[in-house]
Chains A and B, each alone.
Chain A
Amino acid sequence: MNDAPRPKVLVCDDEQQILRALRVILRDAGFEALPASSAQEALDVAAVNRPDAGIIDLILPDGDGAEVCRRLREWSDMPLIVLSAVEDEDAKVRALAAGADDYVTKPFGPRELVARLHANLRRTHLEPEEAVIRTDGLEVDLARRTVLVGGAEVHLTPTEFDLLRQLARNRGRLMTHRDLLVSVWGPGYADDTQVLRAHMANLRRKIEPPGGGRVIRTESGVGYRFAA
C-alpha cells in the first residue's frame, strides 16, 4: 500500500446506495471518500475536512448542486465534478457557470468518473508542466510552438496554436467555451462562441485525421475536452 496521504474526495448524493458504492469505488482507486447526503452536509463536511476534490449530485434534497459549487468556490479551488442526468441540461450549465469543473452523466461508469477526477486533480496538484504533449499520433511542443501530426509538421495560426495549447495542457479536463474564449482571446470575448467554433473547426481539420479518432471531444453546449 501507498504511504502517501490519499486525496480526500467530498461525495454528495442523496441516494444512500450510490454513496456506498462510490465510497468503495473511490477507495479502490486510491481516494478517501467523504460522504454527504445533503447540500448543507456537503458544505459542513468540506469546511471541516478540506477535501481535495468534490463530486456533487445536481439534485439534492435541500437544494441545487450548482449552489453547493458556488458556495465551495467562495473559499476553495478544489476540482468539482457534478453528477447529472441527461435532462438536467440547464442545471449542468448553471453548475459549470457556478464553478464546477466537469460533469459526469448518470448512470456513470466508475472508470470514467475516476479518470475525470485524476484529470482535474492534475490541475491543482501543479504537476510539472510537460514541454511536449503526445497523444495518438499528435505531438505538441509547447516550448517551440510546433505541432507534428503523424510525424509531419503542421502549420497552425497563432490563435489555433493557443487554442490547442489550452486544451492540451488541460488534457482530460472539460474546458468550457468561456474558459477557452477568455484564455485565448481575452475577457472581452467571453460570449463569442461563434468565433471559437470557427477556429475550432479549422484546428480540427488540421490535426485530426479525416474520419479518424477525435483528439478533441465536443461536449455539446458546454465546451471541449482534449483526449486524456
Chain B
Amino acid sequence: MFDGLGPGRIADERPNPWLGIAAAIVTVAVATAVIYPLKQVAPAVSMSVVYLPAVLLVSAYWGLALGLLTALLSAAAFNFFHIPPVGRFTIADSRNWVALAAFVFVAAVASTMAEIARSRAREAERRRREADLAAALARELLAGSDTREALATTARRIAEALGLQSASIVLGEAEGDERRRALSLRDGDRNQIATLLIPYSLPDDTLQRVRTSVVPALEALVAIAIRRDALQAEAVETEALRRSDDIKTALLRAVSHDLRSPLTAIVAAGHALSASTLTDDERTELIAGIVSEGERLASLVDKLLDLSKLQAGRAEPRRDWVSLDDVVLAAREGVAEPAPDVRLTVDADVPEVRVDAAQLERAIANLLENARRYGGDQPISIHVRRSGTRVLVRVVDQGPGIAPSERERIFEPFYRGPQAPREQWTGSGLGLAIAKGFVEANGGTISVESLPGQGTSFVVSLPVQANSPVSVQG
C-alpha cells in the first residue's frame, strides 16, 4: 500500500523516452505524408498546421525536450518536403522561421501544461498516501493496548513506507549518532515526549517528507497514546484502591457480623444462666455453648491477626529445614474439631524445604479446613511430590468444585463462594487468604485447579534448595 512512496518511483510514471523519439519520428512522418494529398486542395505553405498534433502529442506525453525535438523535426520535414524548392532546405525563407517558432511555442505550452497536470496528480497521490500512512499509524498506536509494542510496529511501518533501512521510536529523549538522526517528537506544550530515530544519510526530499508530514502526525498520535496509557494506569490504580476499599468494607462486615454472632450467643447464654427456672441439663448445654462460641471467637481473632500481620508485611518467616509430612500431620492436628479425614501420600524423592514450619502449617491447616467445609464430609487427599526444582503439596477435596469465574476471587479475604450454603458461613472467609499469604511469604505459590462438580485441588508449590536433604519417610 505504501510501495509507491519510495523516492525514485514517481519518475517511472513518465513514459519511456525512446518510445517518445519513436513517436516523434512516426507522427512527423505521418503528418508529412498526409500533406501530399492535401496540397491538391490548398496551398502547401498553409499546411504547417498538420504538424501541430504531432508536436502536441509528444510534448504532452514526453515533456519539453522531446516536444522541442518534434518541433524541429516538423519544421525540417515541412521545409524539406513541402516548401518550394522541394527536396532541399531553404534557410532563407522567413516562412520556415514562422512555422518553427509556432511549433516551439506549442511544444513549450503543451509540455508545461501537461507537466502541471502531472505534478498536481502526483501531489494528490502523495497526500493520499500520507493520509493512508497517518491512518495506519493511528491504527497501530491506538488500537493496541501496549504502547511500547505499538511504537515498534509503527516505526517499522514508517521505514517501509519511506523506504528507510531502519526506523525506531523511543519514549522520552534519545541521542542521535553518526549513523542515526534523532528527530524530537513534541506534545502540544512543546515538551519532548519521544524521539524518532532514522538513518543519518537520507535524500533531502525524503528527510523533508519525514519532517513535514510524518513527524507532526506521529507527535499527535504518540501524545494521545501516552495520555491513554496514563489514564489506563490511573484506572488500574483506582481499581486497586476500590479493591482495598472493598476489603476494608468486608472487614467491617466480618467484624460486625462474624464477631457479633458468637458474641450474641455468649451474652444470651450468660443471661439465660441466671434464669430461675434453669435445669441442670440446660446449664450444661449453655456452658458448653459459651465455651464453643468463645473458641470460635478466639479462632476468628487469630485469623484476623494472621491476616493483618500478612497485610502489614510483618510475617517474617523464620526458616529452617522442614520435612513436609511433619508439617501436614501437624496441620491436621491444628484444624478445629472435628478432625478431617486426611489421606496423606508423600513420594520417596521429596526433599526437605527451607520454610517457616509454623507458617506453612497454618497455611496447610487453613487449606484443610477449607476442604472440610466445602468438601462435603468426603476424605481429603494430600499428595506431596517433587517436580523439578519445586515441591508440590496438592490438597484435593471431593466437593462441588469452583467455577472458573470465582477462582481469582477465592483468595481474597472474606470472599465466600456464592453457592456456599449459609450454614457453612461459620467459616471466617479468611482461610484461603491466610494460606496464600503464608505460602507466598515463604517463597512459594498457591494455585487452584477445579472443575465444577469434580472437586477442587489446591496446589502449594515450594522451591527446593540446591542442597536440600531428602526427607526421611515417617
Interface residue ranges, A against B (CB under 8 Å): 14-18, 20-25, 27-28, 59-62, 85-87, 106-110
Q: Is the CB of A110 within 8 A of B268?
A: yes
Q: Could you tell me how many residues of chain B have their Cβ less than 8 Å away from some Cβ of chain A?
A: 30
- Report if B277 contacts A (CB, 8 A): yes
**B252 contact from A17, A27, A61, A87, Cβ within 8 A:** A87
Q: Is the CB of A20 within 8 A of B289?
A: yes
Q: Which residues of B contact A17 (CB under 8 A)?
A: 262, 265-266, 268-269, 289-290, 292-293
Assess A28 versus B277: contact at CB under 8 Å? Given A14-B423, A61-B422, A107-B260.
yes
State which of B278-286, B322-330, B403-411 sits at the interface with chain A. Answer: B278-286
- Report if B338 contacts A (CB, 8 A): no
Q: Is the CB of B271 within 8 A of A25?
A: yes
Q: Is the CB of A87 within 8 A of B256?
A: yes
Q: Which residues of B contact A14 (CB under 8 A)?
A: 422-423
**B263 contact from A27, A87, A107, Cβ within 8 A:** A107
Q: How far is the CB of B437 from chain A (nearest CB, A)?
A: 26
**A15 contact from B252, B253, B256, B265, Cβ within 8 A:** B265
Q: Is the CB of A18 within 8 A of B265?
A: yes
Minimum CB distance partner of B421 in chain A: A61
Q: Is the CB of A21 within 8 A of B272?
A: yes
Q: Which residues of A contact B267 (CB under 8 A)?
A: 107-109
Interface residues of chain B: helix, strand, loop or mixed (majority): helix
**A86 contact from B256, B262, B263, B269, Cβ within 8 A:** B256
Q: How far is the CB of A191 from chain B (nearest CB, A)?
A: 29
Assess A110 versus B272: contact at CB under 8 Å? Given A20-B289, A61-B423.
yes
- Report if B261 contacts A (CB, 8 A): yes
Q: Which residues of B contact A23 (CB under 8 A)?
A: 272
Assess A25 versus B252: contact at CB under 8 Å? Given A15-B265, A107-B263.
no
List B9-65 residues whose CB lies under 8 Å from chain A: none
Question: In the bound complex, how far is the Cα of B204 from the Cα of A74, in angstroms?
Answer: 91
Question: In the bound complex, how far is the Cα of B110 from the Cα of A69, in angstroms?
Answer: 99
**A87 contact from B253, B261, B262, B278, Cβ within 8 A:** B253
- Report if B264 contacts A (CB, 8 A): yes
**A25 contact from B264, B275, B293, Cβ within 8 A:** B275
Q: How far is the CB of B279 from chain A (nearest CB, A)?
A: 9
Assess A21 versus B268: contact at CB under 8 Å? Given A61-B421, A61-B423, A85-B260.
yes
